[in-house]
Structure 1
Amino acid sequence: MTIIPLSDVPAPAVESLLDRAFGADRHGRTAYRLRAGTVPIAALSFAILDGADLAGTIQCWPVELSGDDGAAVPMILVGPVAVEPAIQRGGIGRQLMAHMLAAADASDIAGARALMLIGDPEYYGRFFGFTAEATAAWRLPGRFEPRRLLARGDGVPHHSGAVRARV
């Protein structure tokens, strides 16, 4: 397995993998609405190849918490993490997350100390330290399960507000 920048993979191949991993109806999900109008952060978006075959991808997006107090805090939305369905549960997603987290820790990208995602707290908490401790008063542009709204990092805001795309 080889991890490469996502920008080195043709966009149609990424979209095809996302369709196989999440279904063609994935565009209606809250996370898609949240990042509308933005492009993935190239330095934090990766693909993993199995030989010449695309095995998985991870994308990160610029968002912010527009606080009810008027402050805007830059954050990064992590995901989707997509793995070819036939090889899921083989650690590929975990490799992509670990690689992205190391890149975020080493970067000075705005929001890199305030990562957020919508995902399984048992998985993302256990392996990567994401929790819902700071997110209870956050609002998103669509439906979500509050226990699945997770964040990680010393820059994560602990106040109420609306999460939105950072353009």
Structure 2
Amino acid sequence: MVELLPLSACDPGAIENLLDAAFGTDRKSRTAYLLRDGTACMPALSFGLLSSTHLIGSIQCWPVLIEASDGDSAAMVLVGPVAVAPELQGLGHGQALMQAMVDAAMLEGNPPMVMIGDAEYYGRFGFSAAETAGWNLPGPFEQNRLLLRNEGDYILPLTGMIGPDIGD
């Protein structure tokens, strides 16, 4: 039996071990980590999947901003990492985590969400690269993998830099 829990109820060490297994121990050098710098994951949108007492999957969401050159900015949610234990990938656990996050986001006002990922896979959850061509990140990335989900039809800058939303 698999149980969905708030990520805050999961052991932080188990989360780190899962992330290392899913993405490698060099994962913190990736651009997505620059987007999370100085922020804490958003508890209402972050979940873990447990099978008996073992963490087999997790999803984390983070506050980010897109800042346009004219000074305008808009708050968004950075989705990821979405991690599933390598030996259990392809069994629908990632889809369950994404659906739980999307359902929770709808209760939180359906904020605009951005992620770095595969449009073919994440398109089923409303993510697309159609509106991100003018956006930039603070490190290397493939433009076609910068995806947006804006089901709430928020007005977002056409161009700008995405970075962590560390608040005031």
TM normalised by structure 2 equals 0.94
Question: Percent identity among equivalent residues?
Answer: 48
Residue of structure 2 equivalent to 1:83: 84
CA distance in 1, matches of 2:142, 2:69: 21
Q: How does 1:2-13 map to 2 (within 5 A)?
A: 2-13=3-14
Question: Structure 2: how far apart are the matches of 1:21 and 1:85?
Answer: 6
Q: Which runs of 4+ in 1 moved over 3 A?
A: none
The CA distance in 1 between the partners of 2:117 and 2:96, in whole Å, is: 17
Map of 2:115 onto structure 1: 117
Q: Which runs of 5+ in 1 are unaligned?
A: none
Matches within 5 A, 1:34-73: 34-73=35-74
* TM-score with structure 1 setting the length: 0.95
| Amino acid in the other structure paired with 1:150 | L
Amino acid at match of 2:111: R
Is 2:140 the partner of 1:143? Answer: yes
Residue 159 (structure 1) aligns with = 158
- Unmatched runs of 5 consecutive residues or more in structure 2: none
Instruction: Kindly tell me the number of residue pairs found equivalent between the two proteins.
Output: 163
| Cα RMSD after superposing both structures | 1.0
Q: Is the 8 A contact 2:74 2:157 kept in 1?
A: no
Alignment check: 8 A CA contact 2:68 2:157 kept: no
Deviations 1:69-125 (A, max 9, x none): 2111000000000001111000000000000000001114xxx42100000011011
